[in-house]
Amino acid sequence: MESVSECSQAKRQKIEDSKTILRLPEVILHGIFSDVANHSLNDIASAEVVSKRFGEIMNDGFVRKNLTLREVPLFPLPHEMYCKRFFKFMKLCRKSDNHEAIFRKGLINFFHMNNHHQQQIKGQDQMEKRQKQGMIKRNSS
């Protein structure tokens, strides 16, 4: 039968083992989370709340640049609070040079109903630039 001290030592070891990832160098964590971001927005959102350090890495432009937007609707729900958060999030993605976010902005600019010719040209340029950079190819795989 295990003693109380052996049991608590086993618990401490379990906790220490779960914190091992926190000890990885920042460069490696950026690489890991960048790859995760390329596959799942939900997983990134979950990892963001694990620790303060993970949250800081998630908000880094490098991770946001590689973030997939497949799980994000093209247009937000009409709820005001959600719309503000949605547009702020998309703007941060575009500032981080996220190809999907910039392509979407180009798509919206091009097809918007009350659009002027210059906006259509700007939207077309945004879409073509991202397509040439491989954004479309990356998403289809």
SS3 110: helix
Q: Return the exposure string of 57-78: e unless at least 16 CB atoms fall within 10 Å of the residue's CB, then b.
A: bbeeeebbbbbbbeebeeebee
Confidence of residue 91 (pLDDT cuts 50, 70, 90): very high
Residue 122: pLDDT over 60: yes
The 10s digit of each residue's pLDDT in 14-44 is 655 556 777 888 888 888 888 888 888 888 8
Whole-model pTM?
Answer: 0.64
User: Can you tell me the distance from the alpha carbon of 50 to that of 92, in angstroms, rounded to the nearest whole number?
Assistant: 21
- Which range among 70-74, 126-130, 137-141 shows the weakest confidence by mean pLDDT? 137-141
Is the confidence at residue 138, as pLDDT, over 60?
no
How far is Cα 127 from Cα 99, in angstroms, rounded to an integer? 9
- Confidence label for 113 from pLDDT (cuts 50, 70 and 90): low
